[in-house]
Structure 1
Amino acid sequence: MQGKLRRILLIVNLHKEHALRLCREICAVLEKMEIEAVPFTFDGKPGAIPPGPFDLAFSLGGDGTVLYAARAMAPLGVPILPINLGTLGFIAAVHPEEWNSVFEHLLRGSVPLSQRLMLEAWVERDGKSVATASCLNDVVVSSSGIAKIIRLHVKGEKIRLGNYRSDGLIAATPTGSTAYSVAAGGPIVDPEMEAVIISPICPFSLSNRPMVVPADEAIIVEVEAEQRSEVLLTMDGQIVEPLEPGDTVRISRAPFKAQLIASDREVFYRVLHSKLNWSGGPDA
C-alpha cells in the first residue's frame, strides 16, 4: 500500500468465538506502531460504521462479515484485510494466526489487492426509485414463502433474456458464484472476472438455465403486475426489501470495487478443493 497507515477500522463480529481476543491483540500491535485502531463491534445486526477517514479495515468474522465490510468500505476506497473466524472462508481467506505476517507484507507493499466486482440494485415503483443498495455477492428476487412460484420478466438494456416462472432469480458476481448461485446450479467463476451470473431458482421449465452476461450489461427484472405471491429483494443475504407487483429491479455494476487483501486466485482454488470437494482434475 502507498503511504503510511494512520487509522485502521476493525469490524468485529461478536458472534464469532475469539473475535474480541483477536481484536485486542491487533489493537495492541497497532498501538506499538503508533497507528490509531478504531474497533467497531456488532452482534448480528451491523449498525452505522464510525466516521472515517480510514486507511484500512480489518474484518474479524466469516464471509458474511466481509460482505458487510465491503458494502461499507468499497464506496470509500478502503481496502479490507479479511480474517476468517467462520467456517467456509471463501472471501475471508486469512487465518487468525497469519494476520500479523500478512499485515507486515502489506506494509512492505508485497501483498496484491484483489479487485472484486460489486453490484448495485435500484427498486423502481410507479416511475420512482424507492430503494437502492450495493452488494458483493448477489442480488436475489424471490418469493417470500416456500414452494410459491413467482413470475418475472428479465431483460437487458438491449437484449431480452426471457420470462421466468420459478421460486426466484439470482444475479451473482463472480465472488458470489460460490454462494447461493452455485447451489442453484450456476457456474463457478473466477472471482476477478468481469461478469454477472443469472440463475433461476427452481424454474418451472426444463429449458431455463443459468446464463453469464457481461458486467457492463444492466439487468432489469420486472415483477409481474398481477403477482399474487409476496416477493422480496435480498442482497448479500443481509439486506431485505419487500417488492410489490409491477415493481422493477434494475441491477448494474457498482461504480466502485471491493479491495480485498491476501485473497488471491491460488487461495480461491485451494478453497474449492478443501471446502466444496472439487477435484479440478480429469475425474472432476
Structure 2
Amino acid sequence: MDRTLQTFTTIRAWREHRATLGEVAFVPTMGALHEGHLALARQALARTPNVVVSIFVNPLQFGQNEDYGRYPRMLERDAALLQSLGVPYLFAPDVAEMYPEPQQFFVEPPERYAAILEGAARPGHFRGVATVVMKLFAIIQPTIALFGKKDYQQLMILRRMVEQFALPITIEAGETVRADDGLALSSRNAYLSPAERQEAPRLFQVLKATADALRSGQGDYAALEQEAIATLARHGWQPDYVAIRRQHDLQPPCCTPPDLAAEPLVVLGAARLGTTRLIDNIEVG
C-alpha cells in the first residue's frame, strides 16, 4: 500500500512522532538523490516499514575552498522520489535548526583513521561528518542506519564511532551503485561536462586493473599505486591518491604477496577531473 511521505523540518516535531514508532531505519543524505541513495532506501524498507531519510547539506564537513555553496539542492524533486518508493518519513532541517548556535562540541575521530586518504585531502572533513551523524543519531534515534560503500572511509569511521560509544544502532552497508559504464553514482557527477562524463569511468577502470593485479598475486603495492596514479595523470586527471589498504581499518597491508583470505584489501582512489572531484573503491578478497 502506498504511503504518503511525511516531511519533518524541526527536531521537536520528529521527536514527537518518533515516540510513536518502534524500530526505525535511517538513511542520512545530503540530497540530490540518485539511484545509490534509493538503493539504500529500498534496503531499509526491506528491514522495516519505518524508514526515515534525512536531507541536510552539512556545512561542517566542507572545507573553505570546497563546493558547499554550489552543492545541488533539489528538495522537491528528492521528496517526489522518496514518495515514489514508499518511504514514509523525510527529515529536512535547515542549518538554523541543526546549528541554532555555532557548534562548539565535536566528535573527533582518531588521526589514524581520519587523517589519511580523504582526511589528508580534506582536513577536518571527518570531524564534520562524525559530528553531524552523531547529532542526527541523537535526533532520529534509529535502530538501523545505512551508508553506502562508495564512501568507504566514512563507513569505516562511523562503524567505529558507533562501537566506541556503544550506540544501540546497527550499521548496514549498501553496495556501490554504478552506471552502465562503471562510473560510481554520485551527486557530484552532475558537475561533469559531456566530455568529462565520457572520461569519468576511467577511475573505476584503473582501480579495477589494480584489483585484478592484486588477485593475480602482485605484491609491490607502491608500484601498483604509482602506476594507477600515472595512468590517471596521463589522461588529464589530477589524482589525490590511489591506495591499497586493509578493508577493516584502511591501514597498509601486512601480507606480501597479498593473502586475500587472511587480509581482505580494498583499492581506493580520489582524483579531480576538471573541477569535479570523484572518489571510488573496489574491495579485493
Report the TM-score when normalising by structure 1.
0.24
Larger relative helix fraction: 2
Report the TM-score when normalising by structure 2.
0.24
Larger relative strand fraction: 1
